[in-house]
Amino acid sequence: MRLDLTQDVASLTAAIVDIESVSGNEKALADAVEEALRALPHLSVERDGDTVIARTSQGRGERVVIAGHLDTVPINHNLPSRVEGDRLYGCGTGDMKAGVAVQLKLATIPETTRDVTYFFYECEEIEEERNGLRRIGLTRPELLRADFAVLMEPSGGIVEGGCQGTIRVEVKVSGERAHSARSWMGTNAIHQAAAVLDVLRAYEPERPVVDGLEYHEGLNAVFVRGGVAGNVIPDECVVTINYRFAPDKSLADAERYLRKLFDGYEVTVVDGAPGARPGLTHPVAAAFTEATGGAVRAKFGWTDVARFSELGIPAVNYGPGEPSLSHTRDEYVEIPRIFASEERMRAWLTT
Amino acid sequence: MRLDLTQDVASLTAAIVDIESVSGNEKALADAVEEALRALPHLSVERDGDTVIARTSQGRGERVVIAGHLDTVPINHNLPSRVEGDRLYGCGTGDMKAGVAVQLKLATIPETTRDVTYFFYECEEIEEERNGLRRIGLTRPELLRADFAVLMEPSGGIVEGGCQGTIRVEVKVSGERAHSARSWMGTNAIHQAAAVLDVLRAYEPERPVVDGLEYHEGLNAVFVRGGVAGNVIPDECVVTINYRFAPDKSLADAERYLRKLFDGYEVTVVDGAPGARPGLTHPVAAAFTEATGGAVRAKFGWTDVARFSELGIPAVNYGPGEPSLSHTRDEYVEIPRIFASEERMRAWLTT
C-alpha cells in the first residue's frame, strides 16, 4: 500500500483510514508512512517498532514536535470510509487519521521556520505499556526533546488544553461454586456483582474547574466477565472500571478514591496515567493558540500531552476531528476542518 | 494409563478420578475404560467417539442399562484425589466417577440374572449437542433399548426419581458505544445489565410437588460478558441464565416463563432439556427401588434419565455421590457408600 502525499489532505485522510490499523495491527500503515517520508530528502527518518519519526535539521532556534497515533479502536462495521456531503465517515477518521494526514502534508514542506519532529506512533488506544510514544520516551527521550508539542488528537479544530487522567481497575466479586441445579448451596458472584454496578449507576460526575477550564469526569464499567460452566454457580465476577479524572487530582488520588468507593472488594489497578493541567500560560503555547485562532477549551480525554507535560514540554491538543465522535460507530470528520487545520499549521510553520 | 479392575471399588474410584477428564478431554479415561473392558470375554465392547458400550448377551428375558458419564466440570484446585478418613476428595469423585467405578466392578461379573448394557459416555456436563448418550440415542438407538435404566448420577445412595428440566438463555442488553472520556455520549450496556441481575436477585424459587416428590427450582446467571476496549463505553452485555424447572413444566413452558420475565430484552435460547416425571410407579422401577433399600426422593439436577424417559424406558438415578457436593471445590464421596452401592447392585444383578 502506497500513500501519495501530493493528493489533497482529505483524499489522503480517506486513503489512511482505508488502511485498517486497529491497535497492534499498525504495521501496514506504518510501512506506508515510512515509505512516503523516506522519499522526502529534507527529512531524516527512523523506524522503531511500528513508530516512525521524521526530523528536519535546519539549525533553527526552536524545535516543535507534531505527533499523532496510527492506531484505532476496533472497527465496528465502519470501514471502508465513505464521503457524505462535507463529512468523511469511518473508523479512525477523527481519532485521528485526519490529524495524521495533516502531519504528512506538513512533512512535505521543504523549509520551515522551526525545526520539526514528526512523530507517528502505535498503540495509543490500548494498555499504556504498548504505547509507542511512551516507549520512545523511555528508550530514546532525546527524540522527544522540543520547545513545544502539538498532538493531533481530535479537538474540533480548537486548541484543547491539558487532559484528564485515566485509571483502570478490576473489581473482583467472589462467591462460592455449586451445581446450578442446587444453586442454594452456593453464592452467585455474578448476582453479587449487581452491587458494584449499582455503585456505578449511582455515580454523579464531578466537573472541576482547573486553570480556568472546566473538566468533566466519568466512571464506567468497560468490561465484565464471569462464569465457569453452563451448569455451575459462578464463584467469581470481575468488573473492569475506567475512571476519568480532572487534572486537579493525581493518579494516587484517583486510586484512593476508587479503593474507598469499592471498599470490601478486591481492587486491582490494571493501568493508569495522570492528567495534565492546561499549561496554556506558557508563552510558546499561547503563541500557537493565537496563530490557530485563539479559541481554547478543556480536553476531556486523556491524551499523550500528559507525557510531554511530565517531560516539562508544554503541549496542546489540536486536531480536525470532533472528540465527542471518537470511538463511536458513526465517527466522522468534517472535511473543511481538515483543510483548515492544514492551512493554519502550514502558516504557523512557514511564517 | 491402565485401570486394574481387580482392586477394590474405592481404590478404583481414586484411580479414575486421577485421570483428569474435563468435558472434551475424556480420551485418556475412555481409552483406559475400553482397554479394561475388552479384557473381559463375556462382554462385547464398542467405542464411538469417547463413549464406550459393553454388553452381555446371555439371552435373558430382561435387559437393563447401567450408565454413567466419564467427564467432569473444570478442575478447581481439587486434583489429584486424596483420602481423609472415610472420604475421598477430588473433582468428579461423586459426580460421578464413584458411580463409574461401581459400573466397572459390576461389568466384571461373568454371569448376571439380567442382560446388562454398560454405558460410559462423554460430555454430560456441557452443551447437550456433545452429549455421548444423546448422540448414540440418535445414531444407534438400538444400543439404548432396555426394560429399565439406572443412571449412576450422585444420589447419596438413595434412589432419586425423575429430574428437573434445564434451559439456558442469553439475555442481551444493548447500549451505545462512546469514548470512555466522554461517557455521557453513550449508553453503558454493562451498567444497564444491572437491571437483569436485579430480576435474578429478586427471584423466589418455586417448590412444586410432582407425583408425590417435592422439587426445588432455580434461576441463575452462569455467565456474563461485556466490553469492547478499555476506553470504550460498551454497547453490549450478555447474561447467560440457567433456569432449572420442576417436571410439571415442559421445556416450552420454561421458555415462555423466561421470555415473559425478560420482556423487552433480546432473549436467545442456547440449549435446554425437558425434565422427567418420577415414574416410580412403573413395576420395574419399583422393584429396583425395593432391592436397593426402598428410600426414594426427588432429583433436583437434570440428568440423562430424561433421555430414557423420552424413549419410554423407566429410569432412575442411583449413585454413591452426594448430589449437593457436585461441582463444588470440596467435592467428595463417602467411601462406605461406594462399597454399599456396589454390593446392592451386585446382589440385584446376581439373584
Q: How many CB atoms lie within 10 A of CB B322?
A: 22
For A49-73, what is each residue's pLDDT tens digit? 999 999 999 999 899 999 999 999 9
Judging by DSSP bridges, how do beta strands B266-273 and A178-179 pair with one another? unpaired
Cα–Cα distance for residue pair B231/A270, rounded to 1 Å = 13
List Cα–Cα distances, B183 to A222, A243, B235, in angstroms. Answer: 11, 10, 12
* Active-site pick, B124, B160, B235, B304: B124
Q: What is the pLDDT of residues B106-130, one digit of tens each?
A: 999 999 999 999 999 999 999 889 9
All cell numbers assigned to A340: 483548515
Min CA distance, A177 vs chain B (Å)? 5
Alpha carbons A235 and B271: distance in angstroms, whole number: 22
Interface size, chain A vs chain B, as Cβ–Cβ contacts under 8 Å: 227
CB contact under 8 A, A182 and B323: yes
| pLDDT mean over A163-191 | 95
User: Do the chains contact at A190 and B227, CB–CB below 8 Å?
Assistant: no
pLDDT at A303 over 90: no
Torsion angle defined by CA atoms of residues B178, B181, B182 and B184, in that order, rounded to the nearest 10 degrees? 80
Contact call for A205 and B223, based on CB within 8 A: no
The pLDDT score that the predictor gives to residue B133 is 96
Quote the minimal CA–CA distance from B36 to chain A in Å. 31
* Cβ pair B170, B240 in contact under 8 A: yes
Report the pLDDT averaged over residues A174-188: 93
Rounded Cα–Cα distance for residues B77 and B207 (Å): 34
Query: What are the start-end ranges of the E strands in chain A?
Result: 44-48, 51-55, 63-69, 82-84, 87-89, 115-121, 148-151, 159-161, 165-174, 178-179, 209-210, 213-214, 218-227, 232-233, 236-245, 266-273, 296-298, 315-317, 332-334
Kindly report the number of other CB atoms within 10 A of residue A330's CB atom. 12
- In this complex, which of A221, A227, A233 lies closest to B190 when CB atoms are compared? A221
CB contact (8 A) between residue A228 and residue B218: no
Least confident of A21-35, A318-332, B39-53, B189-203: A318-332
Q: Which chain B positions have a beta carbon within 8 Å of A201's beta carbon?
A: 191, 194
- Which chain B residue has the Cα nearest residue A225? B225
Closest-CA residue of chain A to B195: A194
Active site residue B124: yes
The b/e string for B301-310 (b: 16+ C-beta within 10 A; e otherwise) is: bbbbbbbbbe
Strand order in the sheet with B332-334: B82-84, B87-89, B332-334
Indicate the residue type of B286. Answer: A
Contact (CB<8Å) A230/B178: no
Query: How far apart (Å, rounded) are the C-alpha atoms in residues A43 and A58?
Result: 10
B119: three-class secondary structure by DSSP = strand
pLDDT value, residue A299:
87
**A198 chain-B contacts, CB cut-off 8 A:** 194
Distance in angstroms (rounded) separating the CA atoms of residues B25 and B27: 6
> What 3-state class would DSSP assign to B189?
helix
Which amino acid would we find at residue B66? Answer: I
C-alpha closest to that of A208 among A244, A238, A251, A175: A244
Which pLDDT score, from 0 to 100, does residue B287 have? 76
First and final CA of chain A: distance in angstroms?
Answer: 34
Q: Which site among A200, A223, A325, A331 would you substitute to test the B interface, given the most B Cβ atoms closer than 10 Å to its Cβ?
A: A223
How far is A340 from B53, CA to CA, in rounded Å?
77
Contact between residue A15 and residue A7 where contact means Cβ atoms under 8 Å apart = yes
How far is Cα B257 from Cα A274, in angstroms, rounded to an integer? 49
Residues with Cβ within 8 Å of residue B224, at least 6 apart in sequence? A190, A193, A224, A225, A226, A227, A237, B193, B237, B238, B239, B240
What confidence category does residue A287 fall into, taking pLDDT thresholds of 50, 70 and 90? confident
CA gap A209, B50 in Å, rounded:
67
Residues in chain B: 351
d(CA A18, CA A79): 7
Neighbours of A205 (CB within 10 A): 13
For residue A144, which amino acid is it? Answer: L
Residues of chain B with pLDDT under 70: none
Contacts of A224 in chain B (CB under 8 A): 190, 193, 224-227, 237
CB contact under 8 Å between A221 and B191, yes or no, is yes
Do B334 and B324 meet the contact criterion of CB atoms below 8 Å apart?
Answer: no
Is the CB of residue B30 less than 8 Å from the CB of residue B16?
no
Active site residue B71: yes
E strand residue ranges, B283-325: 296-298, 315-317
**A216: chain B residues, CB-CB within 8 Å:** 182, 184
**Contact between A221 and B242 using a beta-carbon 8 Å cutoff:** no
Q: Which three cell numbers stand for residue A248?
A: 486537579
| CB proximity list for B162: less than 8 A, separation 6 or greater | B210, B211, B213, B247, B275, B276, B277, B278, B279, B298, B299, B305, B309
Q: Which residues sit opposite A242 in a β-bridge?
A: A168, A220
Please compute the mean of the pLDDT values over residues A213-221 and round it to a whole number. 95
Closest in B126, B186, B220 to A183, CB measured? B220
Answer whether A181 sits within 8 Å of B300, measured CB to CB: yes
Integer Cα distance of A31 and A48 in angstroms:
11
* All residues at 6 or more sequence positions from B114 whose CB lies less than 8 Å from its CB, including other chains: B60, B62, B63, B64, B349
Closest partner residue to A220 among B76, B180, B240, by Cβ? Answer: B180
Per-residue pLDDT of B242-282, as tens digits, reads 999 999 999 999 999 999 999 999 999 999 989 988 877 77
Q: Which residues of A touch B232 (CB under 8 A)?
A: 73, 222, 327
Q: What is the value of pTM for the model shown? A: 0.71
Identify the pLDDT of residue B49. 97
Tell me if A180 and B216 make a contact (CB, 8 A cut-off): no
Taking only the tens place, the pLDDT of each residue in A231-281 is 999 999 999 999 999 999 999 999 999 999 999 999 999 999 899 888 777
Instruction: Find the angle CA(A212)-CA(A216)-CA(A217) to the nearest 5 degrees.
Output: 130
CB contact under 8 A, A190 and B221: yes
Q: Which of A71, A128, A153, A331 is catalytic?
A: A71
For residue A28, give how far its alpha carbon lies from the nearest alpha carbon of chain B (Å): 22
The chain-wide mean pLDDT, for chain A, equals 94
Q: Are A68 and A120 in contact (CB under 8 A)?
A: yes
pLDDT surpassing 80 at residue A182: yes
Residue A293: the pLDDT is 84
- For residue A189, what pLDDT is reported? 98
Query: What residues of A are in contact with residue B76 (Cβ under 8 Å)?
Result: 177
Q: What's at A52, amino acid-wise?
A: V
**Length in residues, chain A:** 351
Q: How far apart are CA A26 and CA A101, in angstroms?
A: 15
Distance CA A159, CA A319 (A): 8
The 3-state secondary structure of A230-284 reads: CCEECCEEEEEEEEEECCCCCHHHHHHHHHHHCCCCEEEEEEEECCECCCCCCHH
Task: Name, in order, each residue with C-beta under 8 angstroms of A92's C-beta and a sequence gap of 6 or more.
Answer: A17, A21, A71, A72, A73, A331
Q: How far does Cα B109 stand from its chain's mean position? A: 26
Which of A282-291, A294-303, B32-41 reaches the highest mean pLDDT? B32-41
ipTM here? 0.70
Beta carbons of A328 and B186 less than 8 Å apart: yes
Chain B nearest C-alpha distance from A193 (Å): 8
- The SS3 call for residue A14 is helix
Q: Is A1 helix (H, G, I), strand (E, B) or coil?
A: coil
Find the closest chain B residue to A325 by CA distance: B178
Q: DSSP string of B14-33?
A: HHHHTS--BTT--HHHHHHH
Chain A residues with CB inside 8 Å of B323's CB?
A: 179, 181-182
Tell me how many degrees the CA angle A312-A314-A316 measures, rounded to the nearest 5: 140
Q: How many other β-carbons are positioned within 10 Å of the β-carbon of residue B80?
A: 13
